[in-house]
Structures are given as structure tokens and as C-alpha cells.
Structure 1
Amino acid sequence: MSLVSLIGAIELGLVYSLLAFGSFISFRILNIADLTVDGSFVLGAAVSAVFVYNGMPHTGIILAILSGALAGIVTALLQTKLGIQPILSGILTMTGLYSVNLMVMSGKANIPLLNKTNIFSLSETLIGGKFYKVVILLIIISLVFAILSWFFRTQLGLSVRATGDNEDMCRASSIDTDAIKIVGFAISNAIVALSGALVSQMQQSADINMGSGMVVISFASIIIGSVLIKNKNITLGLLSVILGSVIYRLIIALILTTNFPPSYLKLISALVVIIALSFPNIKRKMEISKMRKGYKL
């Protein structure tokens, strides 16, 4: 792998770690697989692209985060107030967001941002060198990491974690679990939209189909990270997500250096998730098998 490919893989791993942060909140903390992310990722990219096109990249980032939060609130309301199943509510919001994203993009399937000022071109002027994208991404990720680490130790954050662990117990303790879910999904999809906004500015384009497979990518990052770092607390959990995202992108970059057809990348992503998910179970069965053999001897 060349140095350029390595740097590119690290950049993608870092920017998509924010996507994995969002999915980590819904999947690991709230214990719900939220499929909204495929739509909220594109929503963040679309909102950001529109404002970058009009010369306001920072405003685009802020409004992308707010739009993602609104998407998460819609999903949470479908679950809590209308009683729709969590998986189905995510699918419904994701489906509806396809049309919303087209409206944001003025009916265009793609918005090119070549030669438009964005936060990365600004950071290149300030930082310079080959690693300016890595530097700005590390700053943003560190900020999000610090905010999430602090938030999940507050009373509200602990309530979100408790709701994911045991919702019935939280209700018995007079905690409004519906409101807690709304907060959790809003934060989750706000971070996902931030990832989409950064990707659109980094790749200098926004496409209506760029959200396809984001759920698999985020789950792969979470699972790979959890295999390498045991999530004993929220800080280690978030660190594992960053590590998992970077490793996942390095795996994809290594595959692309071979003659493997790029059209198989989705299949590879699915296989990576399957292997990572099944690894703890396979390991446990192997340990049980060794114990049985030792007992027989």
C-alpha cells in the first residue's frame, strides 16, 4: 500500500468514525438498531453541500447537525408516540428522507463542489502539509469524543444509558423513557449528519445515493472495535469505535490494492461484520470444547 493510499484510508476511517459514533449510541447504548442513518447521513451531506456551494461551509456544518437531530427526533416519535416497531420506524424515516434530501438538493441527484471553499481547503491554508485533513478531523473527533464522554456521565446521559439497559426499570423509577429516547436518537443522528457533512466537503460532492450501506459500515466499525477493545465503559467504547473505523478502512484499502473487483466491496463489508459478530461466539464454543476435552482426559 502506498503512502497516499494509507493516508486516504486513515482520513476515511476518521471521518466515518463519527458515523459509527452515532450508530454506537443507538445500537450499543439504546440497544436499538437505527436504520435512519442511511438517510440522515445523506441529509447532512446535502445540507452541507448546499451551503458550501453558496460560500458558507461553517454554517453548512452547523445546520447539517441540526437537520440530523430533527431526523432522529422523527424516528423516535414514530417509536414512542405512534407505537411503530424500532426497525420499521427507522426504515420509514430513511425512506421519507430520500425525498427530503432531493428537495434540499433542489431536485438534483448530485451537487459538485469543485473549486468551492470548504473547511478542508481553509485548513490546508492554515496547517499545510500532507496531513492537514487528518489534523482537522482529529480536532473535530476529539471535540465530539470529549462532549459525548462528558454527556454520558451527566444525569441525562446516565438516564439514556439506563434506558438502553433496562427500560422497564427506568419507567418504574419515574424516568420518562420516551423523552430519553428522543434525546438519544437526536444526538445519534446529529453526529451521523455531521459525518455526512464532512464527507461531502472532503470529497467535494454530495450524491443522493451516498448513504447506501452506511448501516453496514457503522456496524462493522463498532463490532471490529469491540473485538479489539472491550467496552467496559463509555470512554473505551468510543475509543473502540474510532479504532474499528480506521481498521475497517485499512482493510478495504488493502483489498483495493489487489485485483479484487470493487463491485464486491459491499459483500466484503457484510462478511467483515458477520465474522466480527460471530467471533465471540466461536471463541466461546472453542473454549467450551477444550474444557470438555480436558474433562474427558
Structure 2
Amino acid sequence: MHIPISCEFFPPKSDEGAAKLRAIHLRLAETLKPEYFSVTYGAGGSTQERTFTTVREIQMASSVPAAPHLSCIGSTRAGIADILDQYRALDIRRIVALRGDLPSGMRDPGDFRYANELVAFIREHAGDWFHIEVAAYPEFHPQAPNATADLEHFKRKVDAGANGAITQYFYSIEAYSRFVDDCERLQIDIPIVPGLMPISNYTQLARFSDACGADLPRWLRKRLEAFGDDMDSLRAFGHDVVVELTADLISAGAPGLHFYTMNQADSIIALCRDAGAQPSHNG
């Protein structure tokens, strides 16, 4: 089935990493024809310069447009305005607007406390120039006091001017379906695109999941733990799990698929192939 695909990268830390990422994004562009490539942004903008360099490289070298992440915590209105102007000068048309995390040791949250304030400022500063994506949490944000408060916060981001949302990764389609149903009840009508994380390293995945509040179901943890050091078998099993999830999301009518690539190409291409996810060819 034809479905819009997007892929997420993190800024490489070295020239060698940049060369590797260049080969990866060019290959994914040719094979999957994604709608866009997003590029992450470190806590408090700690990778801001590398993010900008990576975004500029993708925007100039690839047939796929770049979509920088922009986190606002610890930032000033003037600083965010300057970044937006730089991206506009590169003809960037999509932003992933996030609150972000304060780096350890930083006390001042800056001019923005929440992502909805950043979305409102982007609209105030740049009008409708940018298509704004925001984050969604089917299993709820780890700092949310309860499910209702989390949904209300998500609605504030939408009301501030978000065009679409990308979810935190999950391995329970029921969590995603329930979240979409809850949003419909609140008259939230933007596309909510599921985020998908390949499974290739259990220790790393468990650490990520515990840090960001994504749920690793007990049955999945136990199956992955059982592989021990047999990484080939773990990856084969993990591939099958995510293929089944991806195929189920397509069947359920998900508006797109967003892959957390971890700066890899092979696993994403194989997932799309085996789940029957044919890209919707862009422009």
C-alpha cells in the first residue's frame, strides 16, 4: 500500500559520521522516496550547530526536503527567531517543534516553558511558512501528571497551530489506536503519524525506553533478554515484531510512517519491504 514515509536522523559527531550519513540519506531517498528527513536537536540546543550543518547538507544534496527539530527550552525568543530566519533562507518548509530537555546543570528554562508556546511563536514570527510537526505520546509523556492532562497539553499544541504530529515509538498498536480515538473525541483532527523504532540492540532499546517513557511490553522484554549475545537472532526476531506492527498500522489506516533510523538504512528498507509499505512518491 502507498503511504507517506519519513525518516529521522541525529547529527553526526565527526567527518566520518557525516560521510556515512550522506551515503545513508542518499540511499534512503532513492529507495523509499520519503516525504522528508528530520534531524534531531540536543538538550538545550546542545547540537544546534551540527543540526544546522546536517539540515543544510540534506536540503542541498538530497531530493528529499529536510525538517529540523527545534527545541525551545533554555532558548530566547530572539534566538529562536534567528534560527527560524536561517532555516527560511535555506527554503526549509517543515519544522519539528519540541519543548526539549534542560541540559543538566542549567536552571533557566528561557522564554519558553512548553512546546505550545514555541508553536505559537513560530506562527507569530513566520506565519504559515513552516509546516509544524509536534510530538505525541500514545503511552503518555513521562512527566505528565495523568492521561487527561497529557491529552489537554497535546490539544494546546494543535490549537497553537501545529499541522501534524509524530508519536514516540511504541510496540502496542492498541496504545496508538486508543490515543487516536481520544484525540478524535477532543476534536483534534491533524494527522498523527506513528513513530517506529527498529529493534537491533536490547540493552540500548531498554535504556532509551526507560529514559523517554516508551513502554517495552513485558513479553517483548523477556523474549529479547532470552537472546543474550545472539545478536543475529535478536535482530531477526525484532525485525519480525516491527514488520507485524508496521503492517497492522498500515491496515488500520495510519496517515504515514515515521522511522527512527538511528542513522542506519538497511533495517528501514527491509522493514518497509517486508511490511508492504510502498512510499507515496513525493513531488
Q: Same fold (TM over 0.5)?
A: no
Flag the structure with higher helix content.
1
Higher strand share: 2
**Which is higher, the Rg of structure 1 or of structure 2?**
1
**TM-score, structure 1 normalization:** 0.29
Report the TM-score when normalising by structure 2.
Answer: 0.30
